[in-house]
Amino acid sequence: MKKWIGITLGICMIWVLSACGSTPAVTETTSTTETAKNKKIASISIFLTGDLMALGIKPAATTTSDYLPITGEQYQGIQYLGFTKEPDMEALIGLQPDEIFIDAEFADKLGLDKLEQIATTHVINLDEGRWQDHLRAIAQIVDRTDNAESFITAYDAKAKEVSALFQKEIDNGKVLAMRVSAKGFRIYGMDRPLGPILFEDLKLNPSPDVTKIDKNWENISKEILPDLDADAIFVLVSSVDEGSDQVFEKLQSDPIWLGLKAVKNQKVYKITEQPWLDYSASGNLQALEQLEKMVSEK
């Protein structure tokens, strides 16, 4: 049985729910519905897991991306199924889930028919729309549209608040986000994971060259950093690639780095893969809260 709902494929009802509420900040509660009580869901995407959690749904199992380690208390009690691109199918079958959620890209690669033989499968195209669209599509499937709208309203209020705080901190300057790893340097563009939260949700001003990167990221050499002319820099040092900390340590004593406007003015903000690369409702909310804390503690 397959039915498209928005950008989703699948049939639905609800499972393992705990309510999600908000005041202006979003918090989670532990209430459940009778129909959800004994159902199990497997998420073949760490990003869909974050969206499900924002709706108060804790999956029984999840995969993750190879660049996004699973950390944090929110993942306790969730079975790990490996990387999304190559999940542990034996473990998935053994789980005997009632429902599976998966990104469209990997549904095509893994074979939707094979997944449907395990459980009813819902496909969400993460390349279409923004996290708000994904959250709404999932909410429609699980009959929690009111929760999705409450979450988005609270998130927007938090984003506006944090944006004002951070814009004041950097004097409305130009921003870029970069990744440092043992494999080299990378600038994040306007697309997910970081572009939407920085330049749409927080409404920060991107460095002019960043606006030309209409994909996830672009590899660069450190020599072009001065040309990017950023007033503030978000730096993510890879925890996945061994030796990345040493690369960043060396960079911090490099004349090129020391000559950057953002470095001179102490407007460098170190972030981590989780939650900043977790482009989901829950991940982005946690990122906002982390940024608020960073600025408040300066």
Dihedral sign for Cα atoms in the order 126, 48, 207, 252: negative
What average pLDDT does the chain have? 87
- pLDDT on residue 186: 95
- Residue 168, pLDDT above cutoff 70: yes
Residue 157: inside a domain, yes or no?
no
Q: Are residues 8 and 138 in the same domain?
A: yes
Stronger pLDDT, 200 or 4, i.e. the higher one: 200
Q: What's the rounded mean pLDDT across residues 185-209? A: 95
- Residue 3, pLDDT above cutoff 80: no
Residue finishing a domain among 143, 175, 206: 143
Q: What CATH number should be reported for the domain holding residue 291?
A: 3.40.50.1980
Give the domain range for residue 86: 4-143
CA distances from 259 to 186, 221, 265 (A): 19, 15, 10
Lowest mean pLDDT among 30-34, 116-120, 149-153: 30-34
Residue finishing a domain among 143, 176, 204: 143
57-83 tens-digit pLDDT: 999 999 998 888 787 677 889 999 999
- pLDDT on residue 70: 80
Name the residue with tokens 């993460």: 126
- pLDDT on residue 39: 79
How many Å apart are CA 205 and CA 211, to the nearest integer? 10
CA distances from 134 to 51, 162, 175, 178 (A): 8, 23, 26, 26
- pLDDT on residue 38: 55
- Beta bridge pairs of residue 83: 64
CA–chain centroid gap for 240, Å, is 16
How many Å apart are CA 192 and CA 214, to the nearest integer? 10
